[in-house]
Amino acid sequence: MALATDNTQGMSWHRTATSRFLDKGFFWLTAAFGIGVGIILLAIAFQVGRDAIPSIQKFGLGFLTATRWNPVEDIYGAWTQIYGTLVTSFMALLLAVPVGVGVAIVLSEDFLPPRLQKPLVFMVELLAAIPSVVYGLWGIFVLAPLLQGPAMWFYKTFAGVPVLGSLFSTPPTGRGVYIAGIILAIMILPIISAISRDALVAVPLELRQAAYGLGASRWETLFRVIIPAAFSGIVGGVMLALGRAMGETMAVTMLIGNSSNPSPSLFAQGSTISSLLANQFAEADGLQVSSLMYAALVLFGLTLLVNILAELLVSRVKLKM
Amino acid sequence: MTGGGGAITLNGAGASAPNPLYQRWFADYNKVDPNVQISYQSVGSGAGVKQFIEQTVDFGASDDPLKDADRGKYPSARGAGPVQIPTTGIFVVFAYNLDGVENLKLSRESYCGIVDGSIKTWNDPKLTKENPDAKLPDTPITFAYRSDGSGTTAVFTKHLVKSCPNWKGGSGKSVEWPTGTGAKGNEGVTAQIQQASGTIGYTEFSYAKENALKVATLQNKAGEFITPSPEAAEKALVGVEPDKNLVVSVPDPEQKDAYPIVSLTYLLLYEQYPDSAKADALKKMVNWALKDGKAAVAELGYIPLPDEIATKVVTQLDTIKVASK
């Protein structure tokens, strides 16, 4: 210890002008990168907002609740897409959060021998490396035929049941909101589990030892100490995953059925804001481009809202602890 | 190369429907004249027109003829106006996947009903009436359409506007579909039809042919049932007089033996090229394509241009300024 302190002191006495210049330079470089990211975000938001102005003027807030998307008559409303974005993302979180956090717990505790644990960690992280078009193709050729049977069972069993029945009110085909939701769940799973695992592993060993010292069992330690301590990290992972789910384009476009007719049914074909943009942007002109920009702006807003909510959630939980 | 003339590279972009044909033509032409290298990006008609107007390509391609608004934006540095050349005919078919049903016949009423959602199951009386020998199941019909903006959709909906009294969606590159499932690109629609029994969708004939999809026989304006083929589609173009921009519009052909959903696809060239070698090469290539390229047209499932239109194209090509030699 003492030796190390002496060393650094010795260094600082002999700091040359070059070293100080490099130090300053590095500081400003990182600052510029940091600010640059912010500027890029604002620039994109500004550009999208500016291009959306004609559509905002024409449709106003009614854009958010109207359900027609008709490029022939230039009538645009994005409710079907907003609903599709929210439902697929929510469904993805519902499926992926319990599984993802569970995976993270298994892979951070010493349940498994390291020889088995290491490859498993690697494989989960590898899921994140699969290109989304591959997920889309896999969804079309494997997942959709596989789900056809179970989906049909839901459709027949819940027919006529109020509320729940409306979720399954259309006959399932190979494309639809539910398949998009499930594929999104698989896609965001590695993000949630990888980040949650990092957060769990980063909890100081002293906390765990102290909990054991007070007589807590393994599960008490896990649920009362480790998970709360890692909570902000886990929420961070979930938010990143949600961002991915809301913005995912390729796989969703391939699986959701791309219909702008609104339906509460999970088996119906739907559309998300991202899939709408992917489909129509290349061949759009005039008010259609502007309306697509407006839809993009709405997606921006939704993401911002979700992030603010997450921040609030984290600070609430921190206060309680 | 050996002559020292140097290679000429031409870049084009646009319509995806004729893409297989263009790729074939440009590859074949490269063998005829190794100095000319042509690359073509199948980015869609709308993007093709945009890039043509912004002069980022040497030629554009579109399934829709240039609109007046786009003509207005033509760069004056490139001469008085665009040179629009029809290259080949395309036709749109109903491709379907239904086990055990080989030669599906669709009357006008039937296919209009499938598209507007009023015919929901395969054993609908309208369908069984036209197909007495086929075993049509009581399963739902899934209609597959293009979810991305597409020239194929434009051709298809132009026909619907003329032939279906109950069609309210209008016509355009993307429209509001009352029923069905959208898939991206010709390949998306093709995959969807191949995968799910009970699906019927519209696609450009060459894609249906390449993927060996079953195609429906359609009733034309004269009331005849026509099996889709390049020969039947060609009949829709015979005797039709193109306008001064060489546009031929046959949304619902009258001829007795003509297949009903037919259109031309166009190349967009500049009147003046800063590099006269490029102008020369393009002219020669189009002339070659209309004559020697005809074999590929039929082979890939496109419609060769009728002679009277081809003659006009050759005249139109002369308006392009070429290096004086």
Chain A closest-CA separation from residue B156 CA (Å): 14
Query: How far is residue A292's CA from residue A224's CA, in Å, rounded to a whole number?
Result: 47
B237 touches chain A (CB under 8 A): no
CB contact under 8 Å between A71 and B172, yes or no, is yes
For residue A267, what is the nearest residue in chain B, using CA coordinates? B181
- Is 0.90 exceeded by the ipTM? no
In the numeric block, the tokens 């539910």 are attached to A178
For residue A148, what is the nearest residue in chain B, using CA coordinates? B196
- Which fold, B91-237? D-Maltodextrin-Binding Protein; domain 2 (3.40.190)
Non-local (6+) Cβ contacts of B266 within 8 A are B61, B62, B63, B65, B66, B84, B85, B86, B87, B246
**Domain limits, chain B:** 8-89+263-322, 91-237
pLDDT digits (tens, 9 = 90+) for A197-253: 999 999 999 999 999 999 999 889 999 999 999 998 999 899 989 999 999 999 999
What is the model's pLDDT at position A4? 47
B172 touches chain A (CB under 8 A): yes
Q: Which of B151, B158, B204, B143 is nearest to B173 (CA)?
A: B151
Non-local (6+) Cβ contacts of A40 within 8 A are none
Q: Which of A200, A23, A175 is nearest to B201 (CA)?
A: A175
Using an 8 Å Cβ cutoff, are A196 and A233 in contact?
yes
How many other C-beta atoms are found inside a 10 Å radius of the C-beta of residue B4?
5
Query: How far is residue A225's CA from residue A205's CA, in Å, rounded to a whole number?
Result: 11
Query: How far is residue A58's CA from residue A51's CA, in Å, rounded to a whole number?
Result: 13
Non-local (6+) Cβ contacts of A321 within 8 A are A228
Locate all alpha helices (DSSP H) within chain A, ordered by sequence.
2-13, 17-59, 79-108, 114-127, 132-138, 144-157, 164-167, 177-201, 205-213, 218-220, 227-247, 250-255, 273-280, 287-320
What is the model's pLDDT at position A3? 47
Q: Which CATH class is domain B8-89+263-322?
A: alpha beta
> How many Cα atoms occupy the beta-carbon half-sphere of B306 within 13 Å?
18
Query: How far is residue B307's CA from residue B312's CA, in Å, rounded to a whole number?
Result: 9
Query: How far is residue B114's CA from residue B178's CA, in Å, rounded to a whole number?
Result: 10
pLDDT digits (tens, 9 = 90+) for A19-37: 889 999 999 999 999 999 9
**DSSP letters spanning B188-235:** HHHHHHHHSTTEEEEEEHHHHHHTT-EE-EEE-TTS-EE---HHHHHH
Establish whether domains B8-89+263-322 and B91-237 are of one fold: yes
Provide Rg for chain A, Cα atoms.
25
CB contact under 8 Å between B182 and A258, yes or no, is yes
CB contact under 8 Å between B195 and A171, yes or no, is no
Confidence of residue A320 (pLDDT cuts 50, 70, 90): low
A272 touches chain B (CB under 8 A): no
Chain A closest-CA separation from residue B148 CA (Å): 4
Q: What is the mean pLDDT of each run of 10 residues along chain B (325 residues)?
A: 65 91 94 92 87 94 88 88 92 94 93 94 92 90 91 92 92 91 88 90 92 94 94 90 87 92 94 88 92 90 90 88 58
A174 touches chain B (CB under 8 A): yes
pLDDT digits (tens, 9 = 90+) for A91-140: 999 999 999 999 999 999 888 888 998 898 888 888 888 999 999 999 98
Residue-range domains of chain A with CATH: 52-320 (1.10.3720.10)
SS3 assignment, position A305: helix
Query: How far is residue A168's CA from residue A176's CA, in Å, rounded to a whole number?
Result: 11
Non-local (6+) Cβ contacts of B145 within 8 A are B153, B177, B180, B181, B182, B183, B189, B201, B202
Query: How far is residue B156's CA from residue A248's CA, in Å, rounded to a whole number?
Result: 30
CB contact under 8 Å between B173 and A278, yes or no, is no
Chain B closest-CA separation from residue A206 CA (Å): 55
Chain A closest-CA separation from residue B5 CA (Å): 38
Query: How far is residue A97's CA from residue B100's CA, in Å, rounded to a whole number?
Result: 45
CB pairs under 8 A between A and B: 90
Q: Which residues of A touch B61 (CB under 8 A)?
A: none
pLDDT digits (tens, 9 = 90+) for A264-282: 899 999 999 999 999 998 8
Non-local (6+) Cβ contacts of B114 within 8 A are B106, B141, B143, B200
Question: Which of A72, A173, A285 is nearest residue B142 as measured by Cβ atoms?
Answer: A173
